[in-house]
Chain A
Amino acid sequence: DGGITQSPKYLFRKEGQNVTLSCEQNLNHDAMYWYRQDPGQGLRLIYYSQIVNDFQKGDIAEGYSVSREKKESFPLTVTSAQKNPTAFYLCASSIGSRTSGRYSYNEQFFGPGTRLTVL
């Protein structure tokens, strides 16, 4: 089955620890995204990647890091520098296409999310 998966579903972290959230897709999508969602809030973009080996900061990148070494994988590390990491984290992917220097805005496919709690 094609899709996008995230693991783990629930993650508990002690203060001062770094943790890595996994995101994998087998949709052959070029673009991948990480969002954070707090209770009753919308989605805020952390990082995104339009192509392998390249990524850009979103609106709230401080305290987070990513890598995009493979097309199908886009792991997110929540570092100890992130002061309030407890949240629901969503990964998404989309077909990336670029025309005349501009990326297209295609439908995004979301994973089931990882709920991170800091103890």
Chain B
Amino acid sequence: SQQGEEDPQALSIQEGENATMNCSYKTSINNLQWYRQNSGRGLVHLILIRSNEREKHSGRLRVTLDTSKKSSSLLITASRAADTASYFCAPADRGSTLGRLYFGRGTQLTVWP
């Protein structure tokens, strides 16, 4: 399947540091989306990057996409304790007609005050 695989599985940093999470996928994509999940809650959409884009910013978030390497990264700058959450990538398979996303297992980010 076109499931995204996040790396690392867990990341622990101090407030103010930057956090980088990576996502790898297998086939050609239409777009790739990043989501955040606070413990026990639903997911929240963070950012969507299309296959013809290489970088996208939203506030303290920066997402890059390298289609030649089939990978994406999410950078959170100047992290805060409130950024503690799980982060998921979801590649959208270009070859599929179904319009569904495939979520990976996520990266658990812990930001210590």
A residues adjacent to B (C-beta < 8 A) = 31, 33, 35, 40-43, 45, 48, 50, 56, 58-59, 88, 90, 92, 96, 98, 101-105, 107-113, 115
- A31 to B99 alpha-carbon distance, docked (Å): 9
Known: A92-B43, A104-B30, A107-B48. 12 other contacts (CB 8 A): A42-B104, A45-B102, A90-B42, A98-B99, A102-B97, A105-B30, A105-B31, A107-B45, A108-B35, A110-B42, A110-B43, A112-B41
B residues adjacent to A (C-beta < 8 A) = 1, 3, 30-31, 33, 35, 40-45, 48, 88, 92, 96-106
Given contacts A110-B44, A112-B41, A113-B40, contact A105 B101 (CB under 8 A): yes
Question: By the criterion CB–CB under 8 Å, are B106 and A42 in contact?
Answer: yes
Number of A-B contacts (CB under 8 A): 64
Would you list the 3 A-B pairs with minimal beta carbon distance, nearest first? A103-B99, A105-B92, A110-B42
Closest to B98 in A: A103
- A57 to B98 alpha-carbon distance, docked (Å): 11
- A90 to B44 alpha-carbon distance, docked (Å): 12
Contacts of A115 in B (CB 8 A): 40
Question: By the criterion CB–CB under 8 Å, are A42 and B103 in contact?
Answer: yes
Question: By the criterion CB–CB under 8 Å, are A48 and B100 in contact?
Answer: yes
Question: By the criterion CB–CB under 8 Å, are B103 and A50 in contact?
Answer: no
